[in-house]
Amino acid sequence: SQQGEEDPQALSIQEGENATMNCSYKTSINNLQWYRQNSGRGLVHLILIRSNEREKHSGRLRVTLDTSKKSSSLLITASRAADTASYFCATDPQGGSEKLVFGKGMKLTVNP
Amino acid sequence: DTAVSQTPKYLVTQMGNDKSIKCEQNLGHDTMYWYKQDSKKFLKIMFSYNNKELIINETVPNRFSPKSPDKAHLNLHINSLELGDSAVYFCASSQDYSGSGNTIYFGEGSWLTVV
């Protein structure tokens, strides 16, 4: 069953701006992951945040997790044209048989 | 070195045909997956194998049959292809199935078009 819902569905920004993508989910989770998919390619893991963590950084990426609101956000700072891709959140539900449940993805376009 | 490789990348075939997609991972992972991504980019797990044993078998028509000859390979065979089978099929792997927090490594996808 679908778990994560990214918001917005599509975002277009200028190079250098920050991009924020949100993900909401429905059930309790063990962790939440963000993946990137470039056009015509496979998904690539970006960052994982555990349910007992509130914020995590990796380079220009900042992920937050609010388990009370069942939501997460991915912030990409100082965006580059190469960041143009679809971004997916994926949740590891507690007690679920499915290890990762992916959202529908969000298309980010960074204009040079 | 490609971590998860799948072939073919593109496949165009007629309805009713039988086709296979092959997948290999050189990461030494115990768990492999098949995902289907539809035209709306929705990614749905189909199967998961751990050490050659079937762990997850989602509601997938039995025309789809996975086969894992060893833990580094997970092939997908599709019988009697239908138009609705057109999608991108991703093979993936993770270190193991039991641990929470496993990262999934995806192949580049196989674009299947049924005409």
A32-45: pLDDT as tens digits: 999 999 999 999 99
Model pLDDT for residues A12-28, shown as the tens digit of each residue: 999 999 999 999 999 89
What's CA B61's distance to the chain center, in Å?
Answer: 14
Distance separating alpha carbons of residues B62 and B27, to the nearest angstrom: 29
Whether A92 contacts chain B with CB within 8 A: yes
Q: Which of A46-55, B12-21, B35-44 has the lowest mean pLDDT?
A: B35-44
Band of pLDDT at residue B51, cut at 50, 70 and 90: confident
Closest chain B C-alpha to A79 CA, distance in angstroms:
23
* Residue pLDDT, tens place only, B91-109: 999 987 665 678 899 999 9
Which residues of chain B have a CB within 8 Å of the CB of A99? 48, 56, 94, 97, 102
**Dihedrals φ, ψ of A51, to 5°?**
-65, -20
CB pairs under 8 A between A and B: 57
Both tokens assigned to A102:
């992916």
